[in-house]
Amino acid sequence: MQSHVIHTMKVSLRVPDMENAFPMQQRVKECLGKEWDEQLTAILDKYSAANQFLQIPRLQINLEPMPAHQWETHFKERFMEALDKALSQYSQEAPAQQTAEHAAGAFQEEDRPWGPCTASEQYQDIWLFFMQHGMLPWWAQSETAEELEDKVITAVRMQPEFCKEEWTRAWLKGHLSVQRWVQQCSPTLQHAVLEALAGQSVAGTIVGWEATMLLGFSTSTSTVNLRRLQCLYWDVILRLLLTEEERVLQPVAIIPLLKKHWEKWINVEMGTVEMEILEMIVFKTGRTETVSSIETIETKTETTQIGKTKEITQPAKPSSPDLGIGEHLLIRDAGLVLLHPFLVHLFKHFEWLEENDTRILPIYVHRAVHLLSFLVSGEEQMPEYNLVFPKLLCGLPLDTPLEKDVHLTAEEKQQAHELLEVVIKYWDALGTTSPEGLRSTFLQREGKLIFEEDQWLLIVTTQTVDILLNRLPWGFGFVKLPWMEQLLKVQWNP
């Protein structure tokens, strides 16, 4: 049996009068049960193939009027027939339409991928979505961080041409975060992508140059932040790999670009020491590589044409805090909202706040996000795409790139443990519940984040145990911590 993911299903009915509206609504809910799921799965299975996915962003089905008598039976039969017909037509038309759109340059990375695609293409789309937004798309399967990255690496190696085409397109549109490349992509994943972009030999040379540069700066008197230096280096490398028509990658081209973009990443003027280090130690490999001559993959004409006319700039901030994705965001740590009364005190304890407590100090905000995640999961170094809600509660834009390798101190973890014990103490309905019990029962709860009317709405998935929320000694219906720009409204009904 195939696995199918449906993001949202909306049923709109036109009834004779308002008197029948509510009863019909209840009948629809009862109709969409187990039998409905089985019939729906059977239809969807017909259009699924091994190692291939059919992605459909929106499918609208209109049904003719039907009698109220035995309405459920009529509705199921007609819907399944119409769905089968619509999918048959869609699967035939989508490839041709998608190819035409792609050739015309109309495809947008922010658009949800649609039409037939291979498993490797889907996993590359998932990672590119993450590289742009800092979160996973709703259609990504639930799996561990290790499993996801392994599948992305395998996908890149299986279809390197697709990787090169899509990474080039994403870069040219400003949809690739250099910081996310540095902070969230493992060396193995980086190397796989570099091999797809430039070939195995050049990929090894690029990584070797980075190591040489970092070693030179770390053993010198320079006080440059090495993480920022990495971002500078990869900004230049990716710029050369993905935008230069000649694809020339050699020190004579790299060093001037490092100097040109120095202040953008390092935030200070380049000093004499740094200039001398670059001139003396950078890229002493005894080799000069020209990417175009070594194991390169041909770039399609459309990509070359884009490269001639479009200058790469930093991505513009979206007008909407939800990144303009236009859909609700799924989270698995919605219960974190229950801890909101304790967060100001927690951050003040570590002196992470400004004097007026209205802002988390920038040097600590990444630690704050990871600490909130630890409160829920008890685990460290979570990937950024699992930190959407902690970002929101720390007042960060959701697309802010985060450092992954944040190691919490013993004191920070101890304070988190004590905070959970305090919650249990004051919430006497929990009795002898342990911190782990609090996490699994309430904090690790699925929910949906929706941005509307200049505020966030959190809809939490309910369970029978939620009756205990009636005895919670503090409210959580509306939350706005001092550093949050938007109000968070919570819908969690016991």
pTM: 0.80
Residue 149 pLDDT > 60, yes or no?
A: yes
Residue 48 pLDDT > 80, yes or no?
A: no
> According to the model, what pLDDT value does residue 293 have?
32
Note the pLDDT tens digit of each residue in 51-69: 677 777 777 888 888 887 7
Is pLDDT larger for residue 18 or for residue 57?
A: 18
Most confident of 40-54, 208-222, 239-253, 389-403: 389-403
3-state SS string for the chain: CCCCCCCCCCCCCCCCCHHHHHHHHHHHHHHCCHHHHHHHHHHHHCCCECCEEEECCCCCCCCCCCCCCCHHHHHHHHHHHHHHHHHHHHHHHHHHHHHHHHHCCCCCCCCCCCEEEEHHHHHHHHHHHHHHHCCCCCCCCCCCHHHHHHHHHHHHHHCHHHHHHHHHHHHHCCCCCHHHHHHHCCHHHHHHHHHHHHCHHHHHHHHHHHHHHHHHHHCCCCCCCHHHHHHHHHHHHHHHHHHCCCCECCHHHHHHHHHHCHHHHHCCCCCHHHHHHHHHHCCCCCCCCEHHHCCCCCCCHHHHHHHHHCCCCCCCCCCCCCCCCCCCEEECCHHHHHHHHHHHHHHHHCCCECCCCCCECCCCHHHHHHHHHHHHHCCCCCCHHHCHHHHHHCCCCCCCCCCCCCCCCHHHHHHHHHHHHHHHHHCHHHCCCCHHHHHHHHHCCCEEEEEECCEEEEEECCCHHHHHHHHCCCCCCEECCCCCCCCEEEECCC
Boundaries of every domain in the chain: 20-99, 116-284, 329-491
> According to the model, what pLDDT value does residue 110 have?
44
> According to the model, what pLDDT value does residue 290 have?
39
